[in-house]
Amino acid sequence: MSIEGAKHVGERGESEIAELVNRELPKTSVTGYIFIMNMIFKRRSVRDFLPGPVEKEKIERILRAAFEAPSAHNRRPWEFLVVTEQEKREAIAGMSPWAKMCPSAAAVIACCADLKKGDPEYETGGASEDALWEQDLSAATENALLQITEEGLGGVWLGWYPDGDKVKAFRDYFKLPAHIVPVALVALGYPARESRPRDRYDPEKVHWESWN
Ligand SMILES: Cc1cc2nc3c(=O)[nH]c(=O)nc-3n(C[C@H](O)[C@H](O)[C@H](O)COP(=O)(O)O)c2cc1C
């Protein structure tokens, strides 16, 4: 069995995991064990998709994962717009030079912030320093990408906010209310090819206790 085809660790016995680690990963790879255990290490940006849809149950599980993200003050200011129709995905591709994969994706999920929930000063016309909705939405977006990986799918994060042109184009096309901000889009589908896990840990960028 390839690493890519690995079952969730919870479905494996310890001896099966040990056998996989010995057989398939370099013996020197300390993180090899993690590759099998953790979707974080398996997630890669996927921009080439097989034709065809993704099951609605999978999309719902991806959204459930997004809803479980941590959120400042537990405001959970997210709303999600799921787009599967071809014409709409093509329209999204026309809004950003870096969204060209959308027409061949099965779906695009727009991870949006509801400023009425995410910004304590929205109703009074201000932008609160405590408005942490960008971070909330980023956490939700990453959760979605991890569940996409868990589902055997592939996806890519498309940065949207704070690019005013992209936000306006998306808002106009989908007729979003003014208090809804598309923060990040995720294009997803069945990957056209396998991605290999990577280890990008860099001890020089980790500072223990002080900077030097
Ligand atoms: C905030 C953000 C915005 C991104 N925007 C785009 C985008 O518009 N188009 C795209 O193809 N990839 C986009 N990406 C994906 C990155 O290019 C990708 O994560 C990076 O190259 C690392 O590769 P990996 O995801 O496979 O680890 C974005 C990622 C982040 C976190």
Model confidence pLDDT, tens digit, residues 35-89: 455 788 889 999 999 999 999 999 999 999 999 999 999 999 999 999 999 999 9
Q: What is the pLDDT of residues 123-156, one digit of tens each?
A: 999 889 999 999 999 999 999 999 999 999 999 9
pLDDT, residue 27, reads 43
CA distances from 49 to 10, 20, 44, 95, 128 (A): 28, 28, 13, 20, 40
Q: What is residue 131's predicted lDDT score, i.e. its pLDDT?
A: 94
pTM metric for this prediction: 0.86
Report domain extents, the chain.
Answer: 1-42, 56-189
Handedness of CA 97, 191, 43, 85 (dihedral sign): positive
Domain 56-189 fold is NADH Oxidase (3.40.109)
- The ligand 1 atom nearest the CA atom of 195: 26
One-letter amino acid at 136 equals D
Write the DSSP assignment of 28-50 as a string of letters: T-TTHHHHHH-HHHH--B---B-
Which of the listed residues 39, 49, 158 should we mutate to test ligand 1's pocket, taking the one with most ligand atoms within 8 A of CB?
Answer: 158
Task: For ligand 1, say whether the CB of 195 is within 6 Å of any of its atoms.
Answer: no
Q: Say how many Å lie between the first and final Cα of the chain, rounded.
A: 44
Distance, in Å, from the CA atom of 15 to the CA atom of 3, rounded to the nearest integer, reads: 16
